[in-house]
Structures are given as C-alpha cells and as structure tokens.
C-alpha cells in the first residue's frame, strides 16, 4: 500500500503543539507519575527496586540513569503495567496501574507512548503504515489518522520517507519512526527506554532534540539512558537507579 502525503501548508500546525495549547490552562504542578514505597522482586527473588518513591510532575522531563541491570527498564515497565509491583503503588495520571485490567488498562496505555532501544518496527510495513497501525488498532477514523500522520512524520523529519520500509532506513531514522508511532496519538506521557542505545552521537542528539521538543509542547517525558554525555548536554533532572534505590543527582 502506498500512502499519499500532501505537502504541509503554512497554516498546518503540529497536532502535538495544538494539544499542548489545549492543555495550557491545566495545572503544571500535578503529578503524572508517582511511585509510593514500591518494591519489585522478580520471581527468582531478585529485588530490582526496594521501597522506592518517585514523583514526576506533569510536563517534566526526567532522565533515569544507572548501570546495566540496575532496574531502569523495570521502573518503566511498572509505569505501563508490563510488570506489577510486589509492594507499594504505582500511580500514573491518577490511576493505580496495578488495579487496572482489560479495557481500563488499555485506555491508560493509550495515554502512554513508549520508545524502545531496538525500535520494534514491523518490517513488512512502510513508515506510514507502522505509524498509522497504532491508531487503526485503536479505532480512529481514516480521516483522523491522516490528519495526525503528516504532522507527526514532519515532526520527526521523515515526511519524505513515508513510503519506505524499515530496512531502507538508517538506525537513526528507524528510531525516529518508532518515536512517531509512540506520539501519533498525542499521549501526555512518553517513556523512552534507552532510545539512543544503538545510535551514534549525531543520531542520539537528533532523537534527544525531538524528545525535548515534545516536552516543550507539553508531554511529560521519562528517558532511561547510560549515556552520561547526553545527560550533561541536556539540562534536565536526573534520577539514578543503584542497588534497588533511587538517587536524585
Ligand atoms: N523477568 C525477569 N525475571 C527475573 N529477573 C529480571 C527480570 N527482568 C529483569 N530482571 C532483573 O532485574 C534487574 C534489573 O533489570 P532491568 O530493569 O532490565 O535493568 P536495566 O534496564 O537497568 O538494565 C536485573 O538484574 C535483571 O536481571
Ligand atoms: Mg534496560
């Protein structure tokens, strides 16, 4: 399938920016994420997180750093309900994630965009199809899907690659497709698990600039990384995971 992409006109405004303007009157100080005395013990008895507390406010940008195996991915998995806390509460957007099942968990997940280190694109689908797929699965109308597709691809700089397949793209471009897929539904919370882990410094910086732009548009963004240089280059709060504990840096 090919997808016709019309050239954006000057009056087209990013749907991402529009959503942020709609939310402008909402409070900046409300919590988007709260971990309350959370312990995560895996079935092998390993404590990935031990009685930790964390609050991330709406519209904040937070880095989570820490050595490999320290629990960064575990923390994000708790936020989107892929793992359940052994003890304590994980609150996202005022919902107790562990208490949600079925449709209510699906609804919360629609409000969370997720970006992975390894992109997780569907190889047989074009860039546009990979991005639209999420909205199709959520029952958006064709018209709404097309309204969202173009500004999203434009935001990640891939409008001209809409009809390419993932294997025709560089790693940096593939990661930008995966960001487009994560944000096309304009979720208020964006989680990125080592999004630059497979990228060179230039591509890493491009990805970080996109994530920061989304944050400027109003999304709450949480990024795990062990790239200290990248963290220093951006001026955002940092929480380090070490020995099951969280440390503000
Ligand atoms: N499903 C699992 N079962 C058992 N142990 C796990 C599981 N997932 C992660 N772990 C362990 O929990 C610790 C934290 O893992 P993870 O959150 O993936 O760390 P990071 O993302 O910081 O590299 C590691 O020691 C890892 O081996
Ligand atoms: Mg990890």
The predicted-structure confidence for 13-46, as pLDDT tens digits, reads as follows: 568 876 655 554 455 579 999 999 999 999 999 9
The domains of the chain are located at: 30-111+190-249, 120-186
Cα–Cα dist 230/224, whole Å:
11
Strand order in the sheet with 112-116: 112-116, 189-193, 220-224, 61-65, 238-242, 245-248
- 70 CB near ligand 1 (under 6 Å): yes
For residue 70, report the distance from its CA to the centre of ligand 1, in Å. Answer: 7
For residue 141 the two structure tokens come to 């109308």
Cα–Cα dist 246/60, whole Å:
17
Per-residue pLDDT at 15: 80
For residue 188, report the distance from its CA to the centre of ligand 1, in Å. Answer: 27
- 175 CB near ligand 1 (under 6 Å): no
Per-residue pLDDT at 28: 57
Per-residue pLDDT at 156: 98
Per-residue pLDDT at 17: 77
Is the model's pLDDT at 234 over the cut of 60?
yes
- 74 CB near ligand 1 (under 6 Å): yes
Ligand 1 pocket test, pick from 39, 40, 42, 194 with the greatest ligand atom count within 8 Å of Cβ, gives 42
Is the model's pLDDT at 12 over the cut of 50?
no
pTM for this predicted structure: 0.92
Q: What is the mean pLDDT of the chain?
A: 91
Is the model's pLDDT at 153 over the cut of 60?
yes
Per-residue pLDDT at 8: 37
Is the model's pLDDT at 157 over the cut of 90?
yes
Do the beta carbons of residue 56 and residue 64 sit within 8 Å? no
Do the beta carbons of residue 144 and residue 222 sit within 8 Å? no
For residue 241, report the distance from its CA to the centre of ligand 2, in Å. Answer: 11
Which CATH homologous superfamily contains domain 30-111+190-249?
P-loop containing nucleotide triphosphate hydrolases (3.40.50.300)
Share of the chain above pLDDT 70, in %: 90
pLDDT band at 168 (very low <50, low <70, confident <90, very high): very high
- 72 CB near ligand 1 (under 6 Å): yes
Backbone φ and ψ of 14, nearest 5°: -55, 130
* Helix boundaries (H) for the chain: 15-22, 72-79, 102-110, 127-137, 142-155, 171-183, 201-216, 228-233
Sequence length of the chain is 249
For residue 68, report the distance from its CA to the centre of ligand 1, in Å. Answer: 9
CA angle in degrees (0–180, nearest 5) for 212-243-215: 10
Cα–Cα dist 237/87, whole Å:
26
Is the model's pLDDT at 191 over the cut of 50?
yes
Mean pLDDT of all residues in 167-175: 98
Cα–Cα dist 148/155, whole Å:
11
Higher pLDDT, 10 or 60: 60
Mean pLDDT of all residues in 179-197: 97
Per-residue pLDDT at 58: 97
Share of the chain above pLDDT 90, in %: 87
Question: How confident is the model over 91-123, as pLDDT tens digits?
Answer: 999 999 999 989 999 999 999 999 999 999 999
Q: 92 forms bridges with which residues in the sheet?
A: 33, 95
Cα–Cα dist 231/79, whole Å:
22
């Amino acid at each position: 399938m090919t997808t016709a992409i019309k050239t954006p006109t000057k009056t087209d405004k990013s749907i991402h920016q529009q959503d942020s303007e709609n939310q402008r009157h909402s409070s900046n100080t409300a919590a988007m994420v709260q971990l309350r005395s959370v312990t995560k013990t895996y079935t092998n008895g390993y404590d990935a997180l031990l009685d930790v507390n964390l609050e991330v406010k709406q519209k904040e940008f937070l880095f989570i750093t820490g050595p490999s195996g320290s629990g960064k991915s575990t923390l994000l998995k708790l936020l989107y309900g892929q793992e359940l806390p052994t003890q304590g509460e994980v609150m996202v957007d005022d919902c107790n994630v562990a208490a949600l099942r079925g449709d209510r968990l699906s609804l919360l997940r629609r409000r969370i965009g997720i970006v992975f280190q390894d992109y997780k694109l569907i190889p047989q689908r074009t860039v546009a199809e990979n991005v639209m797929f999420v909205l199709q699965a959520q029952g958006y109308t064709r018209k709404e899907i097309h309204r969202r597709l173009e500004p999203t691809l434009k935001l990640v700089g891939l409008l001209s690659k809409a009809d390419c397949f993932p294997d025709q793209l560089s790693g940096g471009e593939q990661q930008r497709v995966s960001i487009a897929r994560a944000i096309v539904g304009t979720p208020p919370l964006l989680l990125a698990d080592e999004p630059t882990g497979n990228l060179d410094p230039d591509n890493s910086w491009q990805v970080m600039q996109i994530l920061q732009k989304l944050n400027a548009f109003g999304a709450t963004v949480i990024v795990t990384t062990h790239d200290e240089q990248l963290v220093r280059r951006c001026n955002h709060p940092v929480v380090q995971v070490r020995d099951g504990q969280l440390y503000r840096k």
